[in-house]
Structure 1
Amino acid sequence: EVHRLGRAVEEVLYPAMEDFALDIVIGKGPGARSIRLKLPRFTIVGATTRLALMTAPLRARFGA
């Protein structure tokens, strides 16, 4: 039920789906740093019976 994904999860998925990478923030405040983890190519399948409940950006990434 992909329409139930939280926005924070969607935000993590976007670069994974588009660039096959995850951007991870380590630490807090001014000392925080970001690292990019490359992912192997993968296939993602999302299923829902409630397409209208998916956010527009997520629908677009699934080509709906």
Structure 2
Amino acid sequence: RIKKIILWAGVFSFAYGLLMELVQGILPYREFSLEDLFANTAGVVLMLLYLVARDNLKSS
């Protein structure tokens, strides 16, 4: 159950980061940045790995 919650948190976080980049792409004073999207994604992945590892340590 907790892994499913962690997965959905990751999906939501990635989608939110993507949405923010898309919104910035249409604003005249901001710009879409693939580098920012990659950084956001890397942060999400690192946090998901941490949460899964922590959950596995608690389970054992």
Q: Same fold (TM over 0.5)?
A: no
Q: Which has the larger radius of gyration?
A: 2
Superposition TM-score tier, normalisation by shorter sequence: under 0.3
TM-score scaled by structure 2?
0.25
More strand by share: 1
